[in-house]
Amino acid sequence: MRRYVIKRLAQAVGVLWAAYTVSFLVLDYLPGDPVSAMAGAGMDSGEVDPARLAALRHEYGFDRPVLVQYADHLGRAVRGDFGDSISTGRPVTSTLTDALPQTLQLTSAALLLAVLLGDGIAVAATYTAQRWLRQFLLSLPPLGVSVPTFWVGLLLVEVFSFRLRWFPAFGNDGLKGLVLPALTLAVPTGAQVAQVLAKSLLTALDQAYVETARAKGASRWRVHLRHALRNASLPALTVVGLLVGQLIAGSVVVETVFSRDGLGRVTAAAVTSQDIPLVQGVVVLGALIFVATSLVVDLVYPLLDPRIVVASDRRASFA
């Protein structure tokens, strides 16, 4: 188990380093001049005093070689320092920590709703004996995946805010203001969870151990939840870990549609103003959240199936 944990931690560090490096190179080679944009010169640096531009480039380190910038920024990033925002002048870390709670609140609520929605549809579809009901429930996940997130948000706002007036359409107005944005993110995410879990459950229900449990007199409900669901949950758990990154990315659209403060709006503003330090901080923070979630999922695997650790240790011993 110890070797398994160390291996997963090493992989997590590698993913974070790769995310930082790729984001640094991509942002460095993008067209445009963030210093000119900050100085109010648009894309033409000739409209501003060249000495002023040179001073700003020196202040933010853009006049140094790329490798020197990379080494310096990476060393500071390891300590949690991503520099100052070009557009606001505030430390990037402070900007992100101020916006993070709202986004975590939104994505956590959306993930909880997605898991409940996806598990509910998958279990109901595979448990019911009514063929028409099973077909209907199994047709819902493909529909949920195919519908654009922004369209779901606009539809929910139209129905539940403008017509029924149950929930506010915009802002961070407590729990009521969280319902519609969380549902908007949860619909496509829950649909993907339902697709994977339903397929895994149908496969598990055809296995020999399920027939053995039935032969021993276990009830249909116990067989379905105790035996089949536990083994079928591993693929769905993997999908949930991967979907955390999708939820973070989807928050950009959802927070814009619902005018919520959070990482989504910070990202949109940073990209618009070519705020390279802030964009890179957002990328690394998103990668950190994704890696942490994937690490938790990897550590939960052995609790559901101890054979995973045994197989991992066996491969390591042969290597």
* 196 occurs within a structural domain: yes
Q: How far apart are CA 86 and CA 79, in angstroms?
A: 20
Q: How far apart are CA 240 and CA 88, in angstroms?
A: 35
Please write the tens of the pLDDT for every residue from 137-153: 888 888 888 887 778 88
Average pLDDT of the residues in 7-36: 78
The answer to whether residues 68 and 131 belong to one domain is no
* 309 occurs within a structural domain: no
The answer to whether residues 123 and 228 belong to one domain is yes
Q: What is the pLDDT of residue 15?
A: 83
- Domain finish residue from 11, 44, 78: 78
Number of C-beta neighbours around residue 40 at 10 A: 8
Q: How far apart are CA 319 and CA 316, in angstroms?
A: 5
State the average pLDDT for the chain. Answer: 78
Q: Is 6 strand, coil or helix? A: helix
* 319 occurs within a structural domain: no
- Domain finish residue from 78, 106, 127: 78
The answer to whether residues 105 and 53 belong to one domain is no
* 313 occurs within a structural domain: no
Q: What is the pLDDT of residue 304?
A: 58
Between residues 245 and 305, the one the model is more confident about: 245
The answer to whether residues 133 and 236 belong to one domain is yes
Return the structure tokens found at 129. 């004996």
* 89 occurs within a structural domain: no
- Helical H segments across 223-306, by residue range: 229-257, 263-272, 276-304
The answer to whether residues 149 and 181 belong to one domain is yes
* 54 occurs within a structural domain: yes
The answer to whether residues 25 and 117 belong to one domain is no
Average pLDDT of the residues in 246-264: 79
The answer to whether residues 26 and 134 belong to one domain is no
In which domain, by residue range, is 117 found?
95-272
Total tally of structural domains belonging to the chain: 2
Look up the CATH number of the domain holding residue 152: 1.10.3720.10
The answer to whether residues 108 and 238 belong to one domain is yes
Return the structure tokens found at 4. 């398994």
Number of C-beta neighbours around residue 198 at 10 A: 25
Q: Rounded to the nearest 5 degrees, what angle is found at the Cα of 55, between the Cα atoms of 52 and 58?
A: 150
The count of C-alpha atoms lying within 13 angstroms of the C-alpha of 112, restricted to the half-sphere facing its C-beta, is 10
Please write the tens of the pLDDT for every residue from 212-245: 777 777 777 777 777 677 777 777 777 777 777 7
Q: What is the pLDDT of residue 306?
A: 60
Number of C-beta neighbours around residue 101 at 10 A: 12
Q: What is the pLDDT of residue 44?
A: 47
Q: What is the pLDDT of residue 302?
A: 64
Q: How far apart are CA 306 and CA 319, in angstroms?
A: 21
* 296 occurs within a structural domain: no
The answer to whether residues 256 and 130 belong to one domain is yes
The answer to whether residues 74 and 104 belong to one domain is no
* 143 occurs within a structural domain: yes
Residue owning tokens 């999708």? 246
Report field, pTM of the whole predicted structure over 0.85 = no
Average pLDDT of the residues in 67-83: 83
Of the candidates 40, 34, 41, which has an alpha carbon nearest to the alpha carbon of residue 57? Answer: 34
Q: What is the pLDDT of residue 34?
A: 65
Number of C-beta neighbours around residue 117 at 10 A: 21
Q: What is the pLDDT of residue 41?
A: 45
Contact 141, 126 (CB under 8 A): no
The answer to whether residues 63 and 209 belong to one domain is no
